[in-house]
Structure 1
Amino acid sequence: MDGTFKFADFIAGWFGGICGVVVGHPLDTIKVRQQNFGTKLFVAISRTFRHEGIPGFFKGMLCPVLTIGPSNAILFGVYGNLMNVFNENYVPRQVSHTDFDALRHVFIAGTIGGFFQSLFVCPAELVKTLMQIKTEGKGSWRRHSEVVYTGSIDAFFGIVRDRGFRGLFRGFAPMAIRDVPTSGLYTVTYEALNSYFEQCHVPLMLKQTIAGGTAGVASWILVIPFDVVKSRIQADSYNHPQYKGMIDCFYKSYQRDGLGIFFKGAPAIVMRTFPVNAALFVGYEAVLRHL
């Protein structure tokens, strides 16, 4: 893959990612608040709207908007280059759904791309989570707001100042488990469905919408418990932490809230994931075709 394709993927990934962020961030905010405050979906939505209005649903969106382009470039750049290593005749989005050797390469390349992407994304997810739990409500709705940041940039530099750069990677373990293998599943699902729908002569935008949305749901549905733990660790107090690590968070969350807590926010995740990834791939492919 030459430099032109890498640059085109970066621009297309940035645009597609922003499309996904704008579509999905309100439900992502609700998901994070459910996971940290233990509220039901419609309670979280109504409470957010009542106390903060529409802007409350978009808290913490600056970091994803600024980082989603580079993070997508990392995922798709590593993925594309590795696919070229595995097969010099590789053509993006033209892997046959019946070619299991090629799909195995797709999974491996996607997994490795997901690892490097998660290294980049973890600090942004931390800042986003801290901003999303910064609410205007009272009582338990505010129980995590020990340190108050004025915005995403203030949160980023505040963490570096108080905890060093290592502090930006809080919650990386559950995030890596959440994102690394599922990035392989994500790319496999998209490539396979793309190939299948191509044979069925499905219209281009409909094909991308269904393949992208389904890939997103398939890659998320199995790892929601790790997303809950990641959110709780990242939202935890720095000075008086409840959790010693990922395993401790699993144990204490189960002891306090039961098994159901590990699927808290699942409806919001499913409702968000399909349109987000559909918008991401439609935007990505549209820009890529014109570069």
Structure 2
Amino acid sequence: MGTNPAPGARGAAARAMGNFQLEDFVAGWIGGAASVIVGHPLDTVKARLQAGNGYGSTLSCIRTVYRRESVFGFFKGMSFPLASIAVYNSVVFGVFSNTQRFLSHHRCQEPEAGPHHVLSDLLLASMVAGVVSVGLGAPVDLIKIRLQMQTQPFQEASLGVKPRVAALGEQPAYQGPVHCIATIVRTEGLAGLYRGASAMLLRDVPGYCLYFIPYVFLSDWITPDAHAGPSPCAVWLAGGMAGAISWGTATPMDVVKSRMQADGVYVNKYKGVLDCISQSYQKEGLKGQDHLTRASFRYS
């Protein structure tokens, strides 16, 4: 026979369960779906600049994609993110909000006291959200990148590696998201779906810390004390500033992630994160990040 928990412990557990809010997941789902629809064309340009060849600038990339593939080229690989990013966004934002709320109430242990934003709570909740984002988002990002990059001109001479297929660049390697998943699992196993996950982990854990923490404190700072919550204008302003801070620092590792995930459409060029960083630096140096930073558009 087990012993019954103390009344205080039962009350704390009940308050913790009561702090769980499904609305955070719903809001994340709506935001994720909207961001895919609006942001996918720019994300395609970002992926081409980060992992493609022959683009001198963002405008040059846009013109090249439009000339070669028409307007539909900007929406390559969109069906899979549209079906999955909404769920991914829902889980990430829901996990952050509920983890932060749980930590705050567990620390206060007073049902009447409203959750007070403490840096340690926000930091831990952001790190948990970052880890969850990699577990869910790495396969989504991989499929999206592979579909976006498979129409790229293949430059065999510049790579100096053995191709995986005979007719390189003559026809797309993947017929769609399902075929892409099946091909990766067949040729690389289930672990192949998490190619680039280590770089994504190094991007998302600090990236979400540098997004959620500034967002929370900025929205609190902008919102007058008399208001119960931030206004839509405060949310947009705080979200935009937090996004700029987060993505400005996450871009270098996002470049590495995109290149590792694009690697494997036709050839295997990189042995790992350090090898990708080393090759990228040797070929382009630090200045190679400039146009990639300007092209970055985070919607996941």
Residue 282 of structure 1 corresponds to none
Selected match of 2:126 from 85, 92, 110: 110
CA distance in 1, matches of 2:207, 2:127: 7
Selected match of 2:149 from 133, 138, 143: 133
CA distance in 2, matches of 1:12, 1:36: 32
CA distance in 2, matches of 1:31, 1:95: 38
Selected match of 1:25 from 10, 19, 40: 40
Q: Secondary structure at the match of 1:252?
A: helix
| Match status 1:215 vs 2:242 | yes
CA distance in 2, matches of 1:54, 1:239: 25
**TM-score normalised by the chain length of structure 2:** 0.79
* Higher relative contact order structure (alpha carbons within 8 Å, sequence separation ≥ 6): 1
Residue 188 of structure 2 corresponds to 163
Residue 177 of structure 2 corresponds to 152
Return the offset for 1:159: 0.9
What are the equivalent positions in structure 2 for 1:32-181 lying under 5 Å apart?
Answer: 32-38=47-53, 39=55, 40-88=57-105, 102-135=118-151, 138=153, 140=155, 145=169, 148-181=173-206
Q: Secondary structure at the match of 1:265?
A: helix
Residue 236 of structure 1 corresponds to 263
Question: Which structure shows the bigger proportion of residues in helix conformation?
Answer: 1
When Rg is computed on C-alpha atoms for both structures, the one with the higher figure is 2
Return the offset for 1:5: 5.2
CA distance in 2, matches of 1:46, 1:180: 34
Return the offset for 1:15: 1.0
Gap change, CA 1:149 and 1:87, over 3 Å in 2: same
Structure 1 unaligned regions, length at least 5: 278-291
Aligned residues: 265
CA distance in 2, matches of 1:124, 1:133: 14
Gap change, CA 1:197 and 1:5, over 3 Å in 2: same
- Residues 112-132 of structure 1: per-residue CA shift (max 9 Å, x gap): 111111111000100000111
CA distance in 1, matches of 2:103, 2:20: 18
Q: Secondary structure at the match of 1:15?
A: helix
- Percent identity, aligned pairs only, is 35
Gap change, CA 1:238 and 1:149, over 3 Å in 2: closer
Could you tell me which amino acid in structure 1 is paired with residue 97 of structure 2?
A: G
**TM-score normalised by the chain length of structure 1:** 0.81
Selected match of 1:182 from 183, 187, 207: 207
